Structures are given as structure tokens and as C-alpha cells.
A = this chain, B = another copy of it.
């Protein structure tokens, strides 16, 4: 696999979106698409599409377009989606359960193999056939099982302590849903999903829209 660390984060962040659109095209038996056509679907200009994809080699043929299947496979390779990932979830609240039950992840190679919880009422139960284990056992569990991704769905006050245990236990990545910015060693990848931040940004954009309407009315 090639080292794409020189490719800008902005471009990388767009790849899952390209991938989703290409997957839909494959389902619809579309074999070839122009940068113009792809741009229309992803809401970019043709030139931005070409610029994005040029980062990863020459996918397209001038005057012909992109081979949808090849481009889709290549993006999967770039994203590392040919591998499988073993994951544990810490916290079995609604969000933890939602992720444990989200079967689409399994199909794409992301497998939840254990859930960890401090609430004794939940320990020993199974969620989507996955056992809920006492959080006090996590060190032992991680020393015996090679886990790739740790998912944190605890409250924000517990999140750093959980992250420390996951890091010590050798996970390669942390998917963090707690409203906290974690301190994690550089060799461990982190993706944050801060739901509250996202909702607050939505509120901001709603207010900016309201304002534009008021301006139009008063002018």
C-alpha cells in the first residue's frame, strides 16, 4: 500500500463520499463516468474532481472518463477497506448499542467483538450476540485479543481514562463519540464524532438563514 500521507486531509476526507457515490453507480450498472458527471453527483466542479483523483494516480482516460469499478476498488484500497478490523465498544448506552447493532459495518469488514460496561446490571448480557464484559477486565481482554479499533461512547468525564486503557492495550485507532478532546499517542489514529458540536453548528446555520430572510424583508 502506498503512503498517501502527503495528500491533504481535505482530499482524504472527501474519499468516503466519492466511494459512496461510486457504489451507487455500480449498483445502477453505470460503467463509466466523466469528471463532469461525477462532479455533478458529488456537488463539485469537474476540475476539482480531476484534481482530487489525480492525487492518487491516473484513474481517468482523457475524453473517456473514469472506469467506475476500477475507481471504486482503488478508493477502497486507499482507505484500507480490503482489511478487516476488530473493534470493541466501551459504553453500552443507546449510542453504544446503536453501533453494536449497526450490521452494515460488519459487511464492510468492521466487526464489533466485545462491549465493555461498568454497570453491573448490564454485564453478562448480550447485545446483537456480542457479550457485555466488565470494564475492569479490559486490560486482560486487550492483552489476550488483538483489537484494531476501540470505540468510546462513555460520558466525556470517563473518556480520557478509557482512551488511556485502549492505547495501553494496543489498539491502532480510536473512534471517539464522547464530547472530549482526547490526548492520545501519535501512533494511534483518532476520529471524533462530536454530535453536540454538529447540532450546534446546525443551530448556527439556521440562525444565519433566518437573518438573511429578515434582511430581505426589511430591504
Query: Which residues of A approach B to under 8 Å, CB–CB?
Result: 1, 3-5, 12-13, 15-17, 19-21, 42-43, 78-81, 83, 85, 93-95, 97-99, 101-102, 104-105, 108, 110, 148-149, 172-173, 175, 179, 181, 187-191, 193-213, 215
Contacts and interface: CB of A to CB of B under 8 A. Distances in A.
B211 A198 contact: no
Contact of A13 (B4, B201, B206): B201
Given A193-B198, A196-B108, A43 B181 contact: yes
A16 B194 contact: yes
B209 A199 contact: no
Contact of A205 (B189, B193, B203): B189
Contact of A97 (B78, B94, B187, B202): B94
A15 B204 contact: yes
A95 B103 CA distance: 13
A201 B80 CA distance: 9
Contacts of A194: 16-17
B19 A200 contact: yes
A12 B203 CA distance: 12
Contacts of A149: 202, 206
Contact of A12 (B43, B189, B201, B206): B201
A182 B43 CA distance: 11
Nearest to A192: B198
A76 B187 CA distance: 35
Contacts of A213: 187
B172 A210 contact: yes
B175 A17 contact: no
A33 to B, nearest CB: 16
